Structure formats: C-alpha cells, structure tokens
Structure 1
Amino acid sequence: MKFLRYIRFKSLQFILTITITLITTFAMLFVGITLFRTFSESMERNAAKNNQQIISQVALNLESYIGNVVRVANTLNDKITSNPSLPNESLQNLMNITLSSRKDIVSIALFTVEGELIMSEPQLPLKNHIDITEQQWFSKAASYPYLNHFSTPHVQNLFDGPDNWVVSLSRGVTFELEEKKVFGVLVVDMNFSAIEAVCNTVSLGERGYVYIIDDNENYIYHPQQQLINVGLKKEYNRDVLIYSSGNFIYDTDGELRSVTVNTSYYTYWKLVGVSFMDEIISARRNIVHYIRWSIIFGIIFFLIIGIFVSAKISKPIRELERSMRLVEKGNFDIHINVTGEEEVVKLSNTFNKMVTRIRELMDQIVLEQEAKRKSEFEALQSQINPHFLYNTLDSIVWMAENEKQEDVVTMVTALAKLFRISISKGKNIITVEQEIEHARNYLIIQKIRYKNKFDYEIHVQEEALRYKTLKLILQPVIENSIYHGIEYMVDKGLIKISAEIVHNKLLFTVSDNGLGMPPEVLESLLSKESKSNKGSGVGVKNVHERIQLSFGKEYGLQIESEQEVGTIVKLLLPLIDDSI
C-alpha cells in the first residue's frame, strides 16, 4: 500500500501517464459526442433538403405538364371566342390536331350551359341517360366562369367507347351559336396516368412515397389509394393543409415521419412527400457503433503512448534532480550535463550559466529601460479598443438577427480589413494608402453602428499615396471626432480626411463639424496630464508622442477647435519614400 501511495502521488511518470490518458479519454469522448451530434443533425438536414429538392422537382414536372394543358385550354378558348359562329370546321380541326398530338389528353368537348353538346373530339355521341349539368367539373365552371377548374380523378364516361380515369380541366366560355351569344363550358380531360407517372418515379428512401391532395382533403393521387379507401391507412393532412411549402416531422403510432409539402401554382394541389425517420436512425446506430470502437481503441493506443512519453520525459528529469541535490549539499563546482529532451538540456545549461548571467543582467537593466519605453509606445499603436470590438460584434449579431445580410457583409468585410491593416505583418511603418484604407474601414463600421449619424469625405493627393507613415495614427483622431464632436449633435455630422504633401512634408488633416472644445480643454489635450476617457486606448496624446518619439519634436499634432463650429487636427510627418 505504501508503494502504491508513493507511485500515485510522487511518481512523475505515473502522473503523466494518468493525465495523458484522462485528457485523451475526455477529449475523444467530447469529439465523439460532438461528431455524433453533428453527423445526426447533418443527416437530418440533408434528408430534409434532399426530400425538398425531390418534391420540388416533381412539383416542377407536374406544373410543366398541367401548364401545357392550361395553355391548350387557353388556345381553344381564344379560338372559340374569336370564331363568328359554332360549330365550325376550323375549331374542329384544332381539336383534332390537339388530341392527335397530345397522348395525355383523352377528350375535348364544348357544351352549352344547359348541357347540350356543341363540339367534341373524338366525335362520338354522348351516352344515354347522362346529365352533364350534375357533373362537378361542369357545375363549377358554370358557377365560376372564366377560371380554370380542376376536378378530382374520376371515370369520364361521357362518350360511347372505353372509359378512362381522367382529371378534367373545365372553364366557362362565351361563344356565338346561331347568331346569338351564349354561355357554355369547355372541358379538357387529362389522362390520369400521366399524373400517376410523374409521382411514381419518386424515391424517398426505401419506404417513402408521394401523394397529392386538394384544398378539400380529396386525394388526387396516392400510391396506396385502395388502403385509403377502405380505411386501412390514414394520412394526417391537418398540418399539410396549413403549409404552402416546407418540412415538418410528426409521430404516427410511435413512428416518426418527415413530411415535405409543395403547392401547385395552377391547381393549388398539395404535393406531399413522406419519408421515414427510422432509416436515418438506423444510420445513426452505425455511427454510434463506429465511434464507440474508435474511442476504445483510441484510449488503448494513447495509454500506451502515454506510458512511453512519460517514461521518456521523466528519465532525464530524474537525472537532473540527482545533480541538483549535489548542488543543494554545497557542491557549487559541479557542472550539470544532462542529456534528453531539448527543454531539459536547456534547463541544465541555464543553471550552469545562472551565476555568470547575474552580473550581465545588471548591466543590461539601464539599456532595457530605454528599450522598454520604446516598446511600450510600439505596443500602444497595435491596441484596439475592446469596447469598439464588442460593440461592432454586437451590431453584427443584431443585423444578422434582423436579416440585414448586406450590412452584415459590409461590416464584417470592413472589420476584417481593419484588423489586417492593424496587424500588417508586425510592421510599424505602412503606406499612406494603407493608413487611409484603415481609416475608411473604421468609418464604414462606425457609420453603420451610429445608423448614418454622420457622413465622411476622404481626399488624398495622388502623389502622397506612395509615401509611408506610422500606422494607426488616424483612427484615434477620427474616434475622438466621433465620440467628443459628433455623437451628441442633433444634426448630422461630417468628417473630412485629407492627405497631401506640403512644404516637402506629409500632412494629414482630420476635421469635423462637431461640438468643438473649450480653450482650456484644447490647451491640455496634448499635455502629459491629459487622459482619454473614451477612445481606442491609444488616445490623441499618444499619437502625438509616437510621432515625436519616431521623428523629432518638429513633427506631431496641431489642433484647432471652436465650440459649436468644429475641430481640425493636423498630423505632420516627414516624407518617407516607399523604397525605405
């Protein structure tokens, strides 16, 4: 027990092995669960998307077919209304050509509103004892003229000859009969097998299917129509009738089904695709099985790796420990020479050099203080106000939630460019063009955030673009103009930025029509006592000090301000050629 207790709490190798194994186990469990959830959600999304694409394609084929029949009916209607008197040979020829060229059309007929047959194709007599006026397709066309009406599938037994399952397209028409204007009904019977063929080609998994219903929950097509008729199968169409298009999942007797709905433009029929979720669940089980065994083999593999790595790491450390104990006993003449990993070798070399390095470090303190001061100023230029970043990200989230995609793209693009120029591969000097671009992107973001509370103008002398400047010197000045000059204005603000060469020097100018500053604030703005309550954290004063630290006291900022008029800030720098 004492040996086990020692191993558990004292052995570095044991601790490293257990730590690596536990971390690996938790990491693999986390990755496995995450992958399972991701794959499951992805499978459901892909299945729903695939169903929607299939149903959309079927709906497109159905719309194309029905649309062609509607155009045939419209052509016949135009011919009927334009003919001086019916019946006539011209219309009969058109009916004959249409029926001959369209195998999916069974018959075409024109009746008076009293049910008297005027013309038909094929030219067959009506069956005896048939009251046309009681047919559903006839009564709808007579009651609601000049609209296309689509019937449910039925046996069309108007004429002598074989009976066919059809869907009737009917509409009220006005025509001339015996030199009188009369109202009648045009009917075009579509072969139901054409609609059936469109739906039969669909495959939604192994058990999925497609059916069609109308607004009154009458079935236009169902692959299991006979089971529906005898009550052995039932579809839950209540939710289907609510949707014009979309996808939802419902539970039927403990069986989950995914339903996709699409509505026909011409007929307002609901095209419904049904797929079964147990097919997706079966795929999930395979994923779980694969992930489970991957985790088990992964834990065993990393346990072996952990033992090997911990032994390799701990061996040179134990050797270093024995050498350090000799030093602890007062043997300072010992030279530690430990081989092993790079870190362990460096540790032993560092110990050997520690005493001699103490005096050298003392001499370096003075030089490092000066270098530290300069590095602090260099660090200031790369800081970005966290509040600005947080507010910008909050604005992006708000716009995304409100579906303002264009503003989101604009702001994210500007923010990306802002950071790219801010980083600029660690360079302290960038081109004037890059600095102006950085300022422009910052203004784009702030303008969107402040909901166009201000406008801005940028004017740059073409010759000035090739010169270089300290980076991030315009943003703090612009930030100061927004927060202290324009934010609390009633009217819309205007910020102007320019860059030009004046007297062989580079001059940036930032002006605004904001509230301005009182003289006492203006006098202390660049002094050592001034502090920035808002802004990037760099501040106008720091920009001034950075320029003077880099180029001398003759350069820096000049500020002019008048209350209720505005503020002008001039940044003067030497000309640094692009070749430098």
Structure 2
Amino acid sequence: MGMMSWMKGITFKLFVICLVFAGSTVLIISVLFYNYIKEDTIHSRVEQNRQILQKVKQYLDMYFLMIENTHYTVLSTIKLSMDNPDILQNQLDQLYLANGGNLKNIYIINEDLSIIGGNVISKAYDEPLPERQRLYEQALANPLSIKATEPYMSTYSGRTITVTRLLSYNNENAVLAFDLDLEALEDHLLRIGDYNDYKIGILHQSGVPVAQSLSLNAMTVSADGKYKLGTLDFMSIYNAGKDVFTTQINGAPATITKLLMPRQNWIVYSVLDETPLRKSLERLRAYSAGLGFVGFFLSLVTAFLVSRFIRKPVYYLKRKMREVRNGNLDIVISNHRQDEFGELADTFDDMIGRIRHLINHLNVSEQMKRDMEIQVLQSQINPHFLYNALGSISNVVALGRTGEVDRLVRSLISILEYGIADASDRVTLREELRNVKDYLYIQNIRYDQMFALEEQMDAELLDAPVLRMILQPIVENGIFHGYQGGTLEGTITVSACRDGGRMIIAVSDKGVGMEEELAGRILQRSYGAERPKRRQRIGLYNIHKRIQLYYGEDYGVEVSSKPGEGTVVRLAFPL
C-alpha cells in the first residue's frame, strides 16, 4: 500500500519524467552525432576522390592534345620527304628523340605493311608484319581523323597504344603511327594516387586496362579472359550507369569511383581501401556508445535531484493564482494527476474556467460575426471572376483557336488554384501581380484585344503583404466598365508607393471614366443595392470592407475618376 502511494506521488512521477526526457535526449544526440560524422566523412572522401579524378582527366586531355599536335607537326614535316627514304628516316629519328619522353616509337606503315621507324628496335623489324594490318585498316577507315587502338603487346614497342593517321602522297597511302609509352604515363601520372591513399587506373572501353598505379596489384583475369578488380569485372565497371561502386579486394572493403573520358573512350578510376575508414567508424561508434552511457548516468542523477523539489509545482500554482488575481484569465493547467497537486490544479482550473467562459462567449460571438461577413464578401467576388474566365474559354473554342486552349487552360488552373485558397491568407504583392497577368491573358484571348499591364513600384514593395484576390476584381472592373466591356483596348497601370506607415496601391485605366459624384457614391452599399446588375459597385464595396475588417477603419479603398480620362482605384494597406 505504501509503495503504491509513493508511485502515485509527485516525487516518483517527476523522477520518471526527468529520467526519460534526459535519457532520450542524450541517446538521440549520440545517434545523430555518429550518423552525421559518418555521412560527412564518407561524403568528403568521395568528393576528394572525384576532384583527384578530375585533375587526372585534365592531365590526360592535355596529354592527348599534345599527342595530336605532335601528329600534325610530324605530318607537315615529313610529307615533303616521302619520296626520299634517307631524309625521311633521318627526320623520324629526330622526331623520335624529341618526343621520347612520351612515345616509344614514331614510324610510317607502308601499303605492304613494312615500316620506316625511329625506334632502334623497330628498324630491326622493318619487314612486313601481320600485326600492322589492323593499324593500317584503322587509318584507312578514318582518313580524316586521328584514332587510337586499345592496349596491346607490340613486337618492337612492348605494351602500348598506337595512334594512327592516314598519310596520302602521289596517289599512294601510308599510315603515320605513334606508339605511346604507357610505362612513362604510369610513372608521371598515376603515382599521384599513392600519396593520397588512392590507387588510380585507366580503363579502355573494351575492358582492357590502359595503365594503373604500381601499387594496384588487385587486378585478376577470369577464366573467360575478363579483367576483374575484386568482385567486379572491368566491362561492368565501364558500362554501369553509376560512378561509385563497393567491392571486396583481397578480403578488404574498397570503394571504386570512375570518371568517363568520352573523347578517348576511356574511364579513369580510383580504388580506395575502406579498411582505415571502417576502423575509424568503429572507434567513433564506441565513443558514441560511451557518450550515451555517461549521458544516461547523468540523466539518472539529474532526475533524482529534480524529484527532490516536490514543492516546486505548488509554488508554481500559487504564482498562477497570483496572475489571475491581477486580471490574467488565460491561465490553464492541464491535469491528469491523482496527487495533491492534481487536486489543487482541478480547483484552480474550475475556478477560472467559469469566469473565462462568460468572457469568451461574447468574444466568440463577435468573431463569428466577423468571419461570416468575410466569407460572404469573398463568395461575392469569386463567382464574378469565374463567370468571366469560363466565358473566355468558351469564346476561344467557339472561334476555333485550338492552339491557344492549352495555355488558356493552364492560366485558368493557376488562377483557380490561387483563388480557392483561404481568403484570410496573406500573399505578397508579387503573387497578386502574377495572378493579374494570368487574368489579363485570358481576357486578351476572349475579346481579341490587347490589355497591357504596366507596373510602377519599387522592387522592395513586391514582397509586401496584401490580401489574396484583391487586385484582380479591380482590373476586371477596369476592362468591363473603363474599356466598355472589352470593346476598347488600353493599359491597366498598377503602382505602389510608401505613405508613412502605409502602402498605397493604385490601379488605373485610361477608359471612359465617370462623373465625380458617381465616383464618390460607388463605395456605398446602398447604392450597390439599388443597382444590382452593376457588379463593379458590389466588387469595390466588398474589397473596401475586406480591407477594413482585416486592418481597421483607417485602411480601405478610394475611387477617383473623370469622364473621358479614366478611373483610379487606390487601396491602403499597413506596412
């Protein structure tokens, strides 16, 4: 019995609440901290990897541009010496020596597949060889461009890629060929990855590796002749739509990132060993768990200390009673307790609830009256617009101008979506102007006239708040009454300016205008009731009342007009 009473008391309940809240907070923070650090670390490594690959790609693009420039230089140099083998051989020797850092050989393939070469070894193999057939055919198939082979093993250049270009002279064909020095490429380029824990490689579209870091020794060849990197074959890596892969290399997790080089039909890829990262994340997970345990222990101690202050709720209730005595009747204490504090809270809520009910009853009645009047006013405006918009669509279809129906319907949908929202919502002047532009587009189509919109306002006022659907009915009145129902063309001008703490929006037309006496009576409800067919009076009266209901009697609508000069409708809003 004593235990049950204690569990219903304030001390135990406060202890449990504090413990659960503090413990949950520490646990959530620990989990979020771990996940954030993990995701941020992985993202940073991937981005760094991409940046390195981008630099490698830039280097290779410059490398191939240099090869192409050398190709064109050699063509222009040797073309005049094709009829003199000795001079040609001497020129090839000099060109080879000048470009030996990037090329293993420079030579010319004759039609009989014999060569004239600059490499010492190639001179020993200058007789026709079958392996040159595909090089010769490659150049013949692409007579106007430079083409590169896939990596292969050459008799006199070793492992290389050959770049060819057709050379025509005296109605005969020959092929200028460069054998690239892939070992030099690896030595000058791919070692960059070894200084950043990245192993970099280059892969041909055929799935054959072009070059790779000297430390990247995880490549294997399957029984069907496919090159593989861990559990992935190179063809799958090249053809895959994604650019980041995960695999196992020698039993260790690794991430492969690739970057396409479409000009050469290569990809440059990097292999990053994830073992150090996973070890770091394991340590981070242990630290997060330790942080969570320490936080839970501190939560336990904090909850115990807080629960000792059982008198705090009583003093809190006394302060609230003091506020009620000073006139604040909005005090509410939600109570689901079965202890002493619950009994006091029930008495307190019951006492102020009855008083608040009597006062709120009058406030609710006034608010309901205000809301109902706003809804009635808004409902008077929306059917007015919808009737005219549907009439515009009907006229377009009737005239057979089907090419304009799609945009017209989109404009109507945009206006309807804008108009059916809660009328009490505030919008910006910019949004109201966009709605007016859609409306004018519909009216221009309907009447086959041009009603242009002119805007005159500071850019900062475009974001000022106004009531929804406040400008479109005024623009509509300008067309129907100022421009005589669309029979006249004209400009609708919308301007906005500051006036002390107010913003004045003016909507003007250059239409037929009206007498000053009529303009003065146009906002009177009784005048609109006498002439129900003149929807302009009802619309402007509704707009005037909406502004005053929302912002007070100091704001609203003002109308000025002169016969033959047009009408100006000014709206005042607070800033």
Question: TM tier, shorter chain?
Answer: 0.5 to 0.7
**Residues 398-433 of structure 1, C-alpha deviations (whole Å, 9 max, x = no match):** xxxxxxxxxxxxxxxxxxxxxxxx99xxxxxxxxxx
Q: CA deviation at 1:72?
A: 0.7
Once residues 453 and 126 of structure 1 are traced to their aligned partners in structure 2, the CA distance between those partners, rounded to angstroms, is: 82
Structure 2 equivalent of residue 201 of structure 1: 192
Paired residue secondary structure (1:63): helix
The structure-2 alpha-carbon separation of the partners of 1:501 and 1:109, relative to structure 1 and needing over 3 Å to count, comes to: closer
Q: CA deviation at 1:493?
A: 12
The structure-2 alpha-carbon separation of the partners of 1:51 and 1:344, relative to structure 1 and needing over 3 Å to count, comes to: same
Structure 2 equivalent of residue 173 of structure 1: 167
Q: CA deviation at 1:298?
A: 1.0
The structure-2 alpha-carbon separation of the partners of 1:344 and 1:248, relative to structure 1 and needing over 3 Å to count, comes to: same
**Residues 166-186 of structure 1, C-alpha deviations (whole Å, 9 max, x = no match):** 4322222113xxxx3311011
Does the 8 Å CA contact 2:103/2:178 hold for their aligned counterparts?
A: yes
Structure 2 equivalent of residue 149 of structure 1: 147
Does the 8 Å CA contact 1:80/1:91 hold for their aligned counterparts?
A: no
Structure 2 equivalent of residue 556 of structure 1: 557
Structure 2 equivalent of residue 240 of structure 1: 237
Structure 2 equivalent of residue 115 of structure 1: 113
**Residues 542-563 of structure 1, C-alpha deviations (whole Å, 9 max, x = no match):** 2145677127xxx734499xxx
Once residues 73 and 21 of structure 1 are traced to their aligned partners in structure 2, the CA distance between those partners, rounded to angstroms, is: 78
Structure 2 equivalent of residue 9 of structure 1: 8
Paired residue secondary structure (1:202): helix
For 1:382-421, list aligned pairs within 5 A: none
Once residues 25 and 498 of structure 2 are traced to their aligned partners in structure 1, the CA distance between those partners, rounded to angstroms, is: 59
Structure 1 equivalent of residue 304 of structure 2: 307
Q: Report % sequence identity.
A: 13
Paired residue secondary structure (1:201): helix
For 1:50-69, list aligned pairs within 5 A: 50-69=48-67
**Residues 425-477 of structure 1, C-alpha deviations (whole Å, 9 max, x = no match):** xxxxxxxxxx9xx5236535x589999879742125x9xx99x9xx7457652
The structure-2 alpha-carbon separation of the partners of 1:459 and 1:105, relative to structure 1 and needing over 3 Å to count, comes to: same
Structure 1 equivalent of residue 470 of structure 2: 477
For 1:37-76, list aligned pairs within 5 A: 37-76=35-74
Structure 2 equivalent of residue 533 of structure 1: none
Structure 2 equivalent of residue 228 of structure 1: 220
Q: CA deviation at 1:265?
A: 4.2
**Residues 16-41 of structure 1, C-alpha deviations (whole Å, 9 max, x = no match):** 22112112222333333333333333
Q: CA deviation at 1:274?
A: 2.6
Paired residue secondary structure (1:62): helix
The structure-2 alpha-carbon separation of the partners of 1:111 and 1:59, relative to structure 1 and needing over 3 Å to count, comes to: same
TM-score (normalizing by structure 1)? 0.60
The structure-2 alpha-carbon separation of the partners of 1:284 and 1:72, relative to structure 1 and needing over 3 Å to count, comes to: same
Q: CA deviation at 1:129?
A: 8.3
Specify which of 168, 175, 181 is matched with residue 185 of structure 1.
175
Q: CA deviation at 1:309?
A: 3.2
Does the 8 Å CA contact 2:506/2:570 hold for their aligned counterparts?
A: yes
Once residues 443 and 281 of structure 1 are traced to their aligned partners in structure 2, the CA distance between those partners, rounded to angstroms, is: 56
Does the 8 Å CA contact 2:112/2:128 hold for their aligned counterparts?
A: no
**Residues 124-175 of structure 1, C-alpha deviations (whole Å, 9 max, x = no match):** 77325853343343443345434333344455544xxxx6544322222113
Instruction: Kindly provide the amino acid, as one letter, of the partner of residue 63 in structure 1.
Output: D
Once residues 27 and 65 of structure 2 are traced to their aligned partners in structure 1, the CA distance between those partners, rounded to angstroms, is: 55
**Residues 520-571 of structure 1, C-alpha deviations (whole Å, 9 max, x = no match):** 54444466xx6xxxxxxxx6522145677127xxx734499xxxxxx97712
Paired residue secondary structure (1:346): helix
For 1:287-326, list aligned pairs within 5 A: 287-312=284-309, 314-318=310-314, 320=315
Specify which of 456, 459, 463 is matched with residue 456 of structure 2.
459
TM-score (normalizing by structure 2)? 0.61
Specify which of 331, 346, 351 is matched with residue 319 of structure 2.
346
Q: CA deviation at 1:508?
A: 3.7
Structure 1 equivalent of residue 533 of structure 2: 519
Does the 8 Å CA contact 2:473/2:539 hold for their aligned counterparts?
A: no
Structure 2 equivalent of residue 571 of structure 1: 570
Instruction: Kindly provide the amino acid, as one letter, of the partner of residue 135 in structure 2.
Output: W
Once residues 241 and 135 of structure 2 are traced to their aligned partners in structure 1, the CA distance between those partners, rounded to angstroms, is: 24
Instruction: Kindly provide the amino acid, as one letter, of the partner of residue 183 in structure 1.
Output: N
The structure-2 alpha-carbon separation of the partners of 1:272 and 1:226, relative to structure 1 and needing over 3 Å to count, comes to: closer
Paired residue secondary structure (1:147): coil
Structure 2 equivalent of residue 259 of structure 1: 256
Does the 8 Å CA contact 2:151/2:208 hold for their aligned counterparts?
A: no
Q: CA deviation at 1:6?
A: 1.9
Does the 8 Å CA contact 1:261/1:273 hold for their aligned counterparts?
A: yes
Once residues 217 and 474 of structure 1 are traced to their aligned partners in structure 2, the CA distance between those partners, rounded to angstroms, is: 65
Does the 8 Å CA contact 1:150/1:169 hold for their aligned counterparts?
A: yes
Q: How many equivalent pairs are there?
A: 442
Structure 2 equivalent of residue 275 of structure 1: 272
Paired residue secondary structure (2:123): coil
Paired residue secondary structure (1:36): helix
Unaligned runs of 5+ in 1: 321-342, 381-421, 424-434, 531-538, 561-566
Q: CA deviation at 1:15?
A: 1.6
Structure 2 equivalent of residue 416 of structure 1: none
Paired residue secondary structure (2:553): helix
The structure-2 alpha-carbon separation of the partners of 1:173 and 1:449, relative to structure 1 and needing over 3 Å to count, comes to: farther
The structure-2 alpha-carbon separation of the partners of 1:544 and 1:72, relative to structure 1 and needing over 3 Å to count, comes to: same
Does the 8 Å CA contact 1:476/1:540 hold for their aligned counterparts?
A: no
Q: CA deviation at 1:229?
A: 5.3
Paired residue secondary structure (2:311): helix
Once residues 14 and 498 of structure 2 are traced to their aligned partners in structure 1, the CA distance between those partners, rounded to angstroms, is: 64
Q: Which runs of 4+ in 1 moved over 6 A?
A: 230-233, 251-255, 447-455, 482-486
Structure 2 equivalent of residue 218 of structure 1: 208
Specify which of 78, 94, 102 is matched with residue 76 of structure 2.
78
The structure-2 alpha-carbon separation of the partners of 1:152 and 1:478, relative to structure 1 and needing over 3 Å to count, comes to: same
Does the 8 Å CA contact 1:545/1:556 hold for their aligned counterparts?
A: no
Q: CA deviation at 1:189?
A: 2.1
Instruction: Kindly provide the amino acid, as one letter, of the partner of residue 8 in structure 2.
Output: F
The structure-2 alpha-carbon separation of the partners of 1:290 and 1:202, relative to structure 1 and needing over 3 Å to count, comes to: same
Structure 2 equivalent of residue 337 of structure 1: none
Instruction: Kindly provide the amino acid, as one letter, of the partner of residue 12 in structure 2.
Output: F
